[in-house]
Structure 1
Amino acid sequence: MAGRGSRLRPHTLTVPKPLIPIAGKPIVHRLVEDIAGVLDEKIDEIAFVIAEDFGPKVESDLKAIAESLGAKGTIYYQDKPLGTGHAIMCAKESLEGPAVIAYADTLFKADFTLDKEADGVIWVKQVENPEAFGVVNLNQNNEIVDLVEKPQEFVSDLAVIGIYYFKDVAVLKNELQGVLDKKLTRGGEYQINDGIQAMRASGLRFVPGKVDEWMDCGNKNVTVETNGRMLNFLHQEGKDLISKSVKIKNSEITEPCFIGENVELLNAKIGPNVSVGDGTKIENSTIKNSLIQNFSEIKNAKLDNAMIGNHAKFNGEFTQISIGDYSVLE
């Protein structure tokens, strides 16, 4: 999770993309909890690969996520954007035994039953435009026989979502070390796929895992969409997403919505598919399908498909907007 997330600017100018809240909880927090919830094994350690300039507050928050799941939290730094293989090797001291590796900008709903006979599992989702993704090719025994990045000719429609399981991740570490030693780069980056292909070439067996839902957080529009989808999932599960401390005056909430602590609503219509962070005040506004973070002030707004950061002020009649932290529109 070392990348800042340039496609999600301005929101990622002050907050790393994996810490952007979805339905009231940071992306990486949801991802870690979801993986922990579907793995039928105790998690000993969660290693986070971040940029050093994320700061001590981010590091302490990440360690707290791990500790809340009964695991040790470890922080590693990736100082240069040299690809997924390089990022994984930044955490090489933790690469022993069974492990899940995940990219921290993806959320999912899946059956995570592990094939204990396989040496590795790569989770995939059927997509309509496979040429935009890395895809897997399978043989008749449902084994992965190839990994192809953004194929120009049809290989399969099973896209790799960025979550992997290794029976012994030390084997991947050894193969990726070889990739680094040989300076085997693609577009100037070291890729996890080259380590996996080397494992396969040595006779190790990989199989696909299937996900029911794959939710991206790559840019503003898909992040707002993912927020709405997650709200619907949580609402269907019976989760109470509206804080008891919300102050409501002449306002209505159409669920599903997440409303944080000490939010004030005055002459407002909120929802559906809206997340509102702690301490935010909304007045004379209609908001749907939007994501608003903490301690912002919204007045005289009619918002749909909007994303507003922390400590922002908005006063107007714009409809589709994306403003970052400490911005003011009046």
Structure 2
Amino acid sequence: MKIIVPMAGRGSRLRPHSLTVPKPLIPVAGEPIVHRLVKDIAKVINQPIDEIAFVLGDLAFFGDDVVSSLKALAESLGAKPSIYRQDKPLGTGHAIMCAKDSLSGPAVIAYADTLIRADFNLDQEADSVIWVKKVDQPEAYGVVKLNDKNEIVELVEKPKFFVSDLAVIGIYYFKDVSVLKEELQHVLDNNIVNGGEYQINDGIKGMMAKGKIFKTGQVDEWMDCGNKTVTVETNAKMLGFLQDDGEQLIAPCLKIENSKIVQPCYIGKNVILKDSTIGPFVSIGDNSTIESSTVKNSLIQTHTTIKNANLDEAMIGNHAIFDGDFSKISIGDYSVLE
């Protein structure tokens, strides 16, 4: 089994946090989004992973440190790491084809801006499985249309009229991903574009037209990391799940003075808490200091200093300094507000 991870986008909706760190590398509940996603997929697939292919953007933004991190992730799962580049943002189908040398055999394709909780049961009769989640407002999503055999017969983007309430979450399984490769090559060769880009859906539609069977897979939780607000919400959900799983979320080298921690929280190495109340649902990265503050429902990254703050639904980057009376703030790396 292979895992293909397109992650070349800049994550503009998550700025300023994605200005200096690629969005898939931003930690949520103490671990980068893409690391957590790949590990969760590897766990629930319950099959040996032979290769993990990452499709990155330009070298200037996705540099050597990113490559090293991703190679280490793949190797930790016993898989061969492969790195590809998508130099121009030409769509989801184009991104997948940038990894065409790895498109053979069974594979999961997963876009690195979402986290899941699921049991993956791969339908052996299906040529492909598309994971979906029931949503309240299907008109805001891409959804699947099913026939009376519960097979997917159509993909509809943001339907104006009700088609179904099963939204596509961006995770796919292909029994033989080379079939998708052939269809996407046809899309590229014939310049088939939607929204000015080459889309994976057009490759999937080509497969459907040739009689390939598509089934749905359902997830228990689908957690977005597209913007600051939903990323903070995802952090809170993930902390709850990790606590229920019995994971150790607080580093033993915490320095705490006249402070209280309300679980669940993730607290990294060499964090200093002084005269503060932390939690619930707070993640604090390594080497950060929180003093004379109350912090809940928030994400704080590494090497950051917070003083005299009352934070709720805040997201603060790396190497930042914040001293002030605001709550729902969003400041990026190396920012200073005092």
Q: TM-score, normalised by structure 1?
A: 0.99
Matched, 1:303 2:308: no
Could you list the per-position Cα deviations for residues 130-168 of structure 1 after superposition, in whole angstroms to 9, with x for gaps in the alignment? 111110011111100110011111111000000000000
- Which secondary structure does the structure 2 equivalent of 1:118 belong to? coil
Counting only pairs closer than 5 Å after superposition, residues 249-328 of structure 1 correspond to structure 2 as 249-328=257-336
Amino acid at match of 1:161: I
Question: Equivalents in 2 of 1:24, 1:109: separation in Å?
Answer: 17
Counterpart Cα distance in 2 of 1:282 and 1:51 = 35
**Residue 238 of structure 1, CA deviation:** 1.1
2:203 to 195, 202, 211: 195
Deviation, 1:239, is 1.0
Query: Structure 1 runs of 4+ off > 4 angstroms?
Result: none
Q: Which residue of 2 aligns with 1:107?
A: 115
Output the aligned Cα RMSD: 0.5
The match for 1:246 among 241, 249, 254 is 254
Task: Please tell me whether residue 125 in structure 1 is matched to residue 139 in structure 2.
Answer: no
The residue that corresponds to 2:63 in the other structure is: 55
- Aligned partners of 1:267 and 1:192: how far apart in 2? 52
Aligned counterpart, 2:160: 152
Q: Name the counterpart of 1:32.
A: 38
1:329 correspondence with 2:337: yes
Match of 1:168 in 2: 176
The aligned amino acid for 1:129 is: Q
CA distance in 2, matches of 1:33, 1:328: 34
SS at match of 1:11: coil
**1:148 alignment partner, SS class:** strand
Look up the match of 2:14: 8
Separation in structure 2 between the aligned mates of residue 263 and residue 309 of structure 1, nearest angstrom: 15
User: In structure 2, what is the Cα distance between the partners aligned to 1:152 and 1:16?
Assistant: 33
How many residues are matched?
Answer: 330
**Identity among equivalent pairs (%):** 71
Ranges in structure 2 where 5+ consecutive residues have no aligned partner: 1-6
SS at match of 2:65: helix
Q: Secondary structure in 1 aligned to 2:219?
A: strand
Distance 1:301 1:4 in 2: 30
Q: Report Cα offsets for 1:157-193 as digits up to 9, x if no partner.
A: 0000000000000000000000000000001100101
- How far, CA to CA, are the matches of 1:40 and 1:283 in structure 2? 44
Query: Residues of 2 paired with 1:296 and 1:3: CA distance?
Result: 26
Counterpart residue number, 2:3: none
What letter matches 2:50 in structure 1? D
How many angstroms apart in 2 are the aligned matches of 1:287 and 1:40? 38
The answer to whether 1:214 aligns with 2:222 is yes
Matches of 2:91 and 2:276, distance apart in 1: 45
Query: Which AA in structure 1 matches 2:185?
Result: Q
1:80 aligns with 2:111: no
Partner Cα separation in structure 1 for residue 148 and residue 220 of structure 2: 22
- CA shift, 1:40, in A, is 2.2
Q: Say whether residues 1:224 and 2:228 are aligned partners.
A: no
Shift of 1:240: 1.1
Q: Which amino acid aligns with 1:327?
A: S
DSSP 3-state at the match of 1:141: coil
For residues 264 and 111 of structure 1, what CA distance do their matches in structure 2 show?
38
Aligned to 1:93: 101
- Aligned partners of 1:291, 1:222: CA distance in 2, in Å? 11
Shift, 1:114, TM fit? 0.4
Cα deviation for residue 286 of structure 1 reads 0.2
Matched with 2:73 is 65
SS at match of 1:12: coil
Secondary structure, aligned partner of 1:31: helix
Residue 229 of structure 1 and its aligned partner are, at CA, apart by 0.3
- The answer for the alignment partner of 1:44 in structure 2 is 50
Unaligned runs of 5+ in 1: none
